Amino acid sequence: MTKEVVMGIVGFGGMGSYHVHELIFREKNVRLKGGYDIKPERNEALGKEGYHVYASYEEMLNDPEIELVLVATPNDTHKALATAALEHGKNVISEKPAMMSSKELEEVLAVAKKAGKQFFVHQNRRWDPDFRIITELYEKKPLGEVFDIESRVHGANGIPGDWRHNLNQGGGMVLDWGVHLLDQLLFLIDSPVTSVQADLSYIEGNEVDDGFEAKLYFKNGVIALVEVGTSNFIKLPRWYVKALEGTAVIDDWDLSGKMVKATGFLGEAPTPIQAGVGLTKTMAPPSEEATETLPLPEGIALAPSVYENIFQVLRNDAPRIVKNEEVLRVMRLMETIFKAGHAHQVLPFEK
């Protein structure tokens, strides 16, 4: 039997709890031994669940049984915590965004290399069922070649009332949600992003962006719009995808949505309709025979799970699902989005 990976966790807040309650316990090859949080009440909560609570982070890093450390703390602390763990001979999985900048990430990757240890990043939304459906639309082309993708998340609660408000803690929505949506698109579309346009929003008057819109122009001709909004009392669909033979919409994470596909029927031209105070033929609905409405496909599953992949990498040198060069590329793209947004310019990104 191959030896299980024993883990420790630093930061038992919102996402740390999610790892413990929703992810790690499902794993047969990864076991959580214990953890440490700077807040005594969070340590108490961890202890009540039967896990070992370390007196300090240092004490956890000196536990020879711990092989993998999950860093689930605010963004500005990832670098120091990950570096310390790597230097103590531990492998690390860091929550997203991996670091505050591409420079920080390069430095941590150099530490990992020197220590001969593995550094992983939790880009969990590559496994999201809605994104798996988009992957099927893009790769299997049930509607023909996809040429335009709109990926949005909309909320109406502003920035959550925590460290996400603070610039020096890596707050703001580009780093919070943007990192997920951009990671999905770069993982999906195997083509350089030649240029980037962006608008950042500061509606709430915070020092960090409370939302943004970015347009990515891929070399293969695909255009993608990414939007994160926190002042949207009416949401737009999570995904809107245009392909040469049809359109697909996924409304929400509940996977409601549909595809409308052209049948190829060549009948009468659409009859003009009254539109506002005028007439239009162009915007008239196609005739009933010209299109069919279809359910969304199931989506292409991504396996194995985040933790099983880490186990396989550590024990069998298996290929990683989330590669560090991909994480670095997304960090650089976010930096270009900030520059493009602040300069109100379309900026080049890759050749």
Given the rule CB under 6 A, which residues bind ligand NAD? 10-16, 36-39, 42, 57, 72-75, 77, 95-96, 122, 124, 162, 176
Separation of first and last alpha carbons in the chain: 47
Q: Which is nearer to ligand NAD, 160 or 272 (CB)?
A: 160
- What is the maximal distance between C-alpha atoms in the chain? 77
Question: Please, what is the minimum distance in Å from the beta carbon of residue 165 to ligand NAD?
Answer: 12
CA nearest neighbour of 145 among 217, 222, 219: 222
Question: Please, what is the minimum distance in Å from the beta carbon of residue 88 to ligand NAD?
Answer: 15
Residue with the CB atom nearest ligand NAD in the bound state: 13
Question: Please, what is the minimum distance in Å from the beta carbon of residue 294 to ligand NAD?
Answer: 31
Q: Which is nearer to ligand NAD, 180 or 215 (CB)?
A: 180
Question: Please, what is the minimum distance in Å from the beta carbon of residue 324 to ligand NAD?
Answer: 16
Q: Which is nearer to ligand NAD, 42 or 90 (CB)?
A: 42
Q: Do residues 109 and 87 touch, judged by C-beta distance below 8 A?
A: no
Q: Which is nearer to ligand NAD, 73 or 91 (CB)?
A: 73
Distance between CA atoms of 281 and 286, rounded to whole angstroms?
Answer: 10
Q: Tokens 């350089």 correspond to what residue? A: 192
Q: Which is nearer to ligand NAD, 176 or 222 (CB)?
A: 176
Q: For 241, phi and psi rounded to 5 degrees?
A: -125, 130
Question: Please, what is the minimum distance in Å from the beta carbon of residue 223 to ligand NAD?
Answer: 26
Question: Please, what is the minimum distance in Å from the beta carbon of residue 13 to ligand NAD?
Answer: 2
Q: Which is nearer to ligand NAD, 95 or 136 (CB)?
A: 95
Q: Tokens 């996402």 correspond to what residue? A: 15
Instruction: Give strand ranges (E) for the chain.
Output: 5-10, 30-36, 52-53, 68-71, 91-95, 119-122, 146-154, 193-201, 211-218, 223-229, 239-243, 246-250, 257-262, 273-275, 278-280, 291-294, 347-348
Question: Please, what is the minimum distance in Å from the beta carbon of residue 292 to ligand NAD?
Answer: 36
Question: Please, what is the minimum distance in Å from the beta carbon of residue 99 to ligand NAD?
Answer: 10
Rounded to the nearest 10°, the torsion over CA 109, 196, 235, 281 is -150
State which amino acid sits at residue 200.
L
Distance between CA atoms of 134 and 42, rounded to whole angstroms?
Answer: 38
Q: Which is nearer to ligand NAD, 143 or 159 (CB)?
A: 159
- Characterise 344 by phi-psi region: left (phi > 0), alpha (psi -120 to 50), beta (else): left
Q: Is the peptide bond before 304 cis (omega within 30 degrees of 0)?
A: yes
Q: Which is nearer to ligand NAD, 125 or 242 (CB)?
A: 125
